[in-house]
Chains A and B, each alone.
Chain A
């Protein structure tokens, strides 16, 4: 602590004594900011040389002749009269207000104003003193910030477009037409700039048989996207080689397990199935690799979950077990495959939307065509809103009812 009266340099007087003598009048006139005094009605009473120089006016042109608001732009004048003046009157002082002044040659001077009401000996206000700071630098800085922000937004848009494009390459552009069936799919990204790890596909095998799958890769972002690509091509390739659903998943398991040995483990849950048209309906042979159970909607409005319990997730274990079941769809029946973005949506602090909730919410849906089912789930997703934290992929297949309602 420095003792009172002791100043830097060892002197005992105030530091001003070290400066050349200051002329107060010169300090006022040539200060690095503008000074302006006006009467209460705004008429300019006194103005310093700095401000005159900035504005390009002679002293006589302003003092006693013009009011402060004459120096403002039209917008500035409105702001001054509706905000600045009333606030100043109420508070007695006001600082840091950004306005533009008009100079003699018509150019604009961005400034920051600080004003105080000066009261006389009788305690009544008799004038307003205003300090004017040149805000060119600040304006330039603000414009620079604005430009940087616009650039950042453009860049973000670009990245989001790229992510969407990549995501679209990971999903089939459009489902093929399957004669005698209706199919529909939907992909709901949880966020625009994340490439998700949900995938699905439907493709012809031989004769009247089709392969389909839907699944979910662990993790997110570009690493998940790489695995998603690998999975899609492996599944399609494996199905051509040996279309038995359990063999297709075993093949995928081997590929994934070997591809990521020793690294960060990558695995997926997936349902793979073959669809064979059979008479008026269709027969599906479905293998489950640890995925959420498919939902089966019958023509009479009843619904049930197709549990493939014991089927293990794919890619995590050297030898994984898959569970296979067969299901027949009659006219008016539908099946829905979905990822757990839907069934892991939060519906409360410690509550999640479950497969059973989905089954109950979709029962009574008649006719349950593929498009109607996807629509119904979309409405559910909307109602869950922010609770949906993960991507959601949907694939629905239905056999049209024969009473003509589906045509």
Chain B
């Protein structure tokens, strides 16, 4: 089972919340990810960071998770940032025309500091 190779973590930060996915995001693990995302309480203007830098494998179920995160955040007028998306997954996101929907950052520090800079600039 791939469950052994998968873990999900949730961490509140000043800007919002960081959802970390590690291991294989596939048919077996995706329902848990989707439930986790839908259970998040987001406020307007908050940031949902989906940190997939520890993700080893991502099929269309993983793409479902990205879309669910985006739709869930959009419903709350919150923003989504994807951190550490593998090259092959970026390619797929480009192919299916969804790359424009997301902000991509190479690592968590960049994601959070870029946010701080934006907030500072906007204030």
Contact = CB atoms under 8 A, between A and B. Distances in A.
Interface of A: 218-220, 264-265, 267, 269, 289-292, 309-313, 316-317, 321, 323, 350, 352
Nearest to B100: A310
A312 B97 contact: yes
B97 A218 contact: no
A264 B64 contact: yes
Contacts of B113: none
Contacts of B60: 218-219
Contacts of A316: 67, 71, 98
B34 interface: yes
Nearest to B87: A350
A218 B64 contact: yes
A313 B97 CA distance: 7
A219 B63 CA distance: 11
A290 B101 CA distance: 13
Contacts of A312: 96-98
Contacts of A289: 97
Contacts of A291: 95
Contact of B97 (A264, A290, A350): A290
Interface in B20-39: 27, 31, 34
B68 interface: yes
A354 B114 CA distance: 34
A352 B27 CA distance: 21
Given A219-B27, A264-B34, A265-B68, 12 more contacts: A218-B60, A218-B64, A219-B61, A264-B31, A289-B97, A310-B97, A311-B97, A312-B98, A316-B67, A316-B71, A317-B101, A323-B97
A313 B27 contact: no
Interface residues of B, number: 17
30 contacts: A218-B60, A218-B61, A218-B63, A218-B64, A219-B61, A220-B27, A264-B31, A264-B64, A265-B34, A265-B67, A265-B68, A267-B64, A269-B95, A289-B97, A290-B95, A290-B96, A290-B97, A292-B95, A310-B97, A311-B97, A312-B96, A312-B97, A313-B96, A313-B98, A316-B71, A316-B98, A317-B67, A317-B71, A323-B97, A350-B88
A290 B64 contact: no
A316 B31 CA distance: 16
Contacts of B63: 218
A311 B68 CA distance: 19
A99 to B, nearest CB: 43
Give the interface SS of chain B, mostly helix, strand, loop or mixed: helix
Nearest to B99: A310
**Chain A CB within 10 Å — which of B71, B95, B97, B100 has the most?**
B97
Which 10 pairs show the lowest CB-CB distances between chains A and B?
A290-B96, A312-B97, A218-B60, A313-B96, A316-B67, A290-B97, A265-B64, A311-B97, A310-B97, A269-B96
Interface string B87-122: 010000001111011000000000000000000000
B27 to A, nearest CB: 7
Interface string B48-70: 00000000000011011001100
Interface string B4-32: 00000000000000000000000100010
Nearest to A220: B27
A218 B27 CA distance: 10
B94 to A, nearest CB: 8
Contacts of A220: 27
B30 to A, nearest CB: 8
Contacts of B95: 269, 290-292
A265 B64 CA distance: 7
Contacts of B71: 316-317
A352 B91 CA distance: 11
Contacts of B31: 264
A269 B92 CA distance: 11
A311 B100 CA distance: 11
A132 B31 CA distance: 57
Contacts of A290: 95-98
A363 B100 CA distance: 32
Contacts of A264: 31, 34, 64
Contacts of B64: 218, 264-265, 267
Contacts of A269: 95-96
A291 B68 CA distance: 20
Nearest to A350: B88
A265 to B, nearest CB: 5
Contacts of B27: 219-220
B96 A352 contact: no
A41 to B, nearest CB: 59
